[in-house]
Structure 1
Amino acid sequence: MTRLWRHALNEARRDLWLARRYWVETLLGLGFVSSLFGGLVYAVLKASGQSLDSGRADGLIAGFALWLFASGAAHAASKEIIEETRQRTLEQLNLAPLSLEALIAIRLVLGLAVGLGLLVLSLLLIGLLTDGRVQVSSGALALALLGCPSLAGIGYALAGLSLLVKRGELLMVAAYPLVIALVSLPAYPVSGLAWLPYALAAAGARAAATGSLLSAEVWGWVALNSGAWLALGLLCFRACLARARRLGVLGHL
């Protein structure tokens, strides 16, 4: 456990150093997210002919905040693989005391902590824009976190494929519409769409953020969904990692 915490602390220091080292890119990223949020709100209101006070776009705007959080979680693992491959340090990571799978998990948890902070700030901003109709609900945040393992499963699967497929950035780009679809599906109340990764968690979180009361079965379904998709993602990652080692292409551009 001590070794695990030491690694987590080192990874946190690494992330802070990278953010400070590439502070221009960090600010540009925050500016991009802010402009994307503002552009979406304007586009939705313009296309529907509604005003922000009508409340018609509240669920969609809350869904956008959830999509930013979900997208970061789903792409975190594959992003780490692609970055380490580009820097030609992926093979060295396999010599670390922790497995590659565990190192990615630590970075994923740290990324989720940052993403959760941004989600809270986004919901606070949305709450101000909607006169309190969208709230930072503890139920919404809990569901968003409970569904994260299913997103991590997607991330591990993408990371595994990135070990075998050159130009892994294309996989990440292709996954963006998938995450948008999963976050926007009407899976709440529990329906046949609930078996898809994160669909029920996102739908329930949107409902909780707009003041709806969640049924008790939602929590059990989300927990079961998260565990199942995380297990599938890890199996895919391990299979791809073993094949990459067998073919001798680990870390090859």
Structure 2
Amino acid sequence: MYILNKYFCKITVISFKIFSESVYSYKGEKQRKIILTVEQIRDQHFLMVLWGAGAAWCPQLQRKKDHIWEFKYLLAQRSSISGDIELHTTPWSSCECLFDDDKRAVEFKEKFQKSEKSLMKMTNLSTHLEEKCSGEINKIYKQCLSCLPFNKVRKFYRPALMTAEDKGCEICIQVVSELMEKIFLNIPADWLNRFIVPPSDTTYGMIVADLCHSLLTDTEASYLLDVRSHFVLDENSYPLQQDFFLLDFHPDL
């Protein structure tokens, strides 16, 4: 199952199938369920299930069922009955009806009229490797069960590649999101637009930017790094591949 960051589609058919499902609950409450049909590729339909609060969108979807809609944060999963991909709303989902002259709607119409094979391609890693495709799988995120039942999507720092140098020897070290936050004084990514003190114009994002600048420009500073290394050697012990992963960062020696 995946969380789709954005999903553009044309509402083609509204099916008034309304249920109260005990098998799908949120915070112990039964969820109202409405099933509708959407079309993202010409003549190719998907079922979309509106759960709970998402069911309240039904009247406006009815009134503007021939318009282009943008949905965010949908859960895409295969039906256990038909095996087809179904789209489900989540507690974070939102929808927006786009005006005809909206850039997003114009781009969607152009692709829709060309009847391209796929505007949204979901694949797992093994399939992607078998197909040997070049390109990007962006905007598809696996559901983070540990984040539930929060009612908003958390933001995280992107993993980074750090270049470290010691006595003329230089290596590149992979840094995961959690350690990026530690390096940035444990300032969460969600706080970057917040003001440190409400009357002040200084945001946490400015503090992080200043810290990045100091880390990159202060050539006299030294830091203690815990690093895990992984080497792949040939039969002559020549390194074919060498990877380094940051385990911990100590700003003060």
TM-score class, shorter-chain normalisation, is under 0.3
Q: Which has the higher contact order (CA 8 A, sep 6+)?
A: 1
TM-score of the aligned structures, taking structure 1 as reference length: 0.22
In terms of Rg, which structure is larger?
Answer: 2
Higher strand share: 2
TM-score of the aligned structures, taking structure 2 as reference length: 0.22
